[in-house]
Amino acid sequence: MVDKSKYDESKPYEMHNLQFDIAAERLDLEPWIADKIKYPRREFVVRFPLRYDDGRVELLSGYRVQHNTLRGP
């Protein structure tokens, strides 16, 4: 049974992990399969400055996450 005490339900990422672990348990997934699905194969993060017309500069982030590479990018 999933130990809910190790998750902080006020944090979205931890709530996602809790829900995934509960679903994997109900599906009776083998641990290696659950880990393969749960964690992404690749993560790419870019950060770049954006200068507005009024002179403000804001640092923006972009993300691309790839969970499976079997069918190509």
List the chain domain ranges: 4-66
Find the DSSP H helices in the chain. Answer: 12-26, 31-38
CA–CA dist 72, 66 (Å, integer) = 10
Model-level pTM greater than 0.85?
Answer: no
Question: So what's the pLDDT on residue 60?
Answer: 96
Question: So what's the pLDDT on residue 56?
Answer: 96
- On the question of pLDDT at 54 being above 70, the answer is yes
Question: So what's the pLDDT on residue 35?
Answer: 87
* Structure-token pair, residue 11: 């944090």
pLDDT tens-digit series, residues 4-53: 777 777 888 888 888 899 999 999 999 999 988 888 888 999 999 999 99
Question: So what's the pLDDT on residue 73?
Answer: 58
